[in-house]
Chain A
């Protein structure tokens, strides 16, 4: 009695969600005021029809625009070379290791993975190597990728990126920077802030909850009120940069804003000179190169980078090159 009822209720929920999804999906047919194309711009030619199947495994927390670009790049590379791309993700290291193992078990032709937690993933990468499946790393794990057993690495050096940003702020006359960490306990984010501090010793960190915009704004407002000597704010993600602009506005702060990564609105804000510059690690390139490199390795035995990491950043976006980059940001490829 009760079980059947439960099932029926759940069916109702699922049905409603599907209906809602369909209803909303239908809307997109109407055409938006401004067209936003999915996927990559890129060459998109017919290319090779290799028939490889590659798995891409990341530590993405669902719902971050950053990963859209990595996926867009990977999909474009897959499309160009006739590759079937299987994407999976889990922010939990143990679960990410399981996902890699799943890919090994399903006998894919190659694996591209992020190594945000190299030690936790070493076992899974080893089992891929044992099965003769090439593994490349991208986005994170620059220091340990070789030790773990990945052939190549495509990504940014977070500490170097932070240091370069810190030095650039110091050169522009910055006295004290506030580095905004939007997710606690992330190695990559801490490394960026540590880098900024290396470039500009008077740098202080603050932890905010990146999943709640109003609380980010009020926390930054509070910090600006507490320490009026802050003349530069460094945010580690584009959406947080836009929150910071609100906070600076509300606190009537004269501080200048610098951000890591890009999205459409942040790119527009750079054009409007509200953001000084962005340190871009070019996620689209990371995703694209990781898949492209697996393809070349499989097809032609290539090794890209000559045994060293291939850096996709830091690339600076500021008022001098924003006009060129803005269309790409709108296209979700930059």
Chain B
């Protein structure tokens, strides 16, 4: 912390009256730096108070927990930069898994076919979300709230109709299980440490998202659409296509975690996933994404997911009274957001050189 409060290095052009930013200011102006500082503070704090956290195995458990939130949060963050919300992101995870499991189980079809079908179905839901938003102009908060309820009801209703129960049958004896399990839900050992494959996927998706946002034209479009859709349209950005694409990205990564959950646990409860949509949004916001759109980046969102995953598990590592779990979680998240804000204040206090 102390190093961030040091005065910026002397600006080179003393005579000029242009506003110049020192390297530290330029660094601090990046959305993820505040989150990073917060993450480091919380990390050190828990290293001190939670002895059980001081092992590589624990660290990778935290990474796994973070990755299951973080993968969907990558897309949710991009969508929020593009100025929209998706409240259906939590239940779409369950929907994707249910479609795959029930379709294949009932018809005795290879699971890979079901996974592809489920992907198409999820993308369709994403498309529908996006299409309704750009077509009607109704805030995405309301449109996706509708999808959220429809999917939540359909998850239960259809599962009950098809299986007679509210959970899917066990699929681990079916054709294609091995391949999909290896892709979505396997783990490997490095020394004594178990690394879940979702952690690797998470890093890949974050890198890809960071590349798209920072280095490609589509990335520029996303920031432009989220910053001011009208002026973006005026300069020729395909606003509608960008927004629909972003909703489809969310449903794609939702599908991905849906596959992970299905192949890791072999059965799915139809009521699961509700409430997770907020975790994704929390990860994005803690990571420096603006709720109003146009600002944020992939690394920040990843750090946000990491802060959430770390805090929720480290309360357990620290052995604090479980009845207070949510209260501790709330305090830690507030702390993270405040550190983030403080760092950002420092960075936006520009010095005229």
Contacts and interface: CB of A to CB of B under 8 A. Distances in A.
Query: Do A and B form a real pair?
Result: yes
Interface of A: 2, 5-6, 9-10, 12-14, 16-17, 20-21, 24-25, 27-28, 30-34, 36-39, 61-65, 67-68, 181, 184, 205-207, 209, 211-215, 218-219, 221-223, 225-227, 239, 242-243, 246, 250-251, 263-265, 332
A222 B146 contact: no
Nearest to A239: B269
B24 interface: no
B159 to A, nearest CB: 8
A61 to B, nearest CB: 7
Nearest to B325: A207
Interface in B133-169: 135-136, 138, 143, 146-147, 150, 153-158, 160-167, 169
20 contacts: A27-B107, A33-B105, A34-B169, A61-B271, A63-B156, A63-B272, A65-B269, A68-B160, A207-B323, A211-B271, A212-B273, A213-B261, A213-B269, A214-B264, A218-B68, A222-B317, A227-B52, A243-B265, A251-B57, A264-B170
Interface stretch (B34-42, B58-66, B248-256, B294-302): B58-66
Given A6-B138, A214-B65, 20 more contacts: A13-B128, A17-B150, A25-B158, A34-B169, A36-B164, A38-B164, A62-B271, A65-B165, A67-B166, A68-B164, A211-B273, A213-B269, A218-B62, A218-B65, A222-B317, A225-B57, A225-B58, A226-B319, A239-B269, A264-B169
A-side interface mostly: helix
Contacts of B147: 13
Given A17-B154, A211-B271, A263 B167 contact: yes
B165 to A, nearest CB: 5
B322 A206 contact: yes
Contact of B61 (A63, A207, A221): A221
Give the interface SS of chain B, mostly helix, strand, loop or mixed: helix
B264 A21 contact: no
B207 interface: no
Contact of B150 (A13, A65, A222, A332): A13
B65 to A, nearest CB: 4
Nearest to A25: B161
B52 A33 contact: no
Contacts of B210: none
Nearest to B65: A218
A246 B158 contact: no
Contact of A222 (B58, B187, B273, B323): B58
Contacts of B50: 226
A234 B319 CA distance: 18
Contacts of B276: 211-212
Contacts of A61: 271
Contact of A13 (B68, B107, B146, B322): B146
B178 interface: no
B316 A213 contact: no
A20 B158 contact: yes
Nearest to A34: B169
A219 B316 contact: yes
Nearest to A69: B165
Nearest to A67: B166
B194 interface: yes
A24 B102 contact: yes
Contact of B264 (A24, A213, A225): A213
A63 B269 contact: yes
Contacts of B160: 68
B99 interface: yes
B9 to A, nearest CB: 42
Given A218-B61, A225-B58, A227-B319, A63 B166 contact: yes
A68 B105 contact: no
A234 to B, nearest CB: 14
A225 B319 CA distance: 11
Contacts of A36: 163-165, 169
A37 B65 contact: no
A37 B128 contact: no
B316 A226 contact: yes
Nearest to B172: A265
A55 B74 CA distance: 47
B281 interface: no
Contacts of A221: 61
Contacts of B132: 9, 12-13
B47 to A, nearest CB: 14
A16 B157 CA distance: 14
B272 A205 contact: no
Contacts of A6: 136, 138
Contacts of B273: 211-212
B226 to A, nearest CB: 23
Given A28-B161, A36-B164, A215 B312 contact: yes
B153 to A, nearest CB: 8
B106 A30 contact: yes
A30 B106 CA distance: 6
A21 B107 contact: no
A114 B160 CA distance: 22
B169 A222 contact: no
B112 to A, nearest CB: 16
B43 interface: no
B337 interface: no
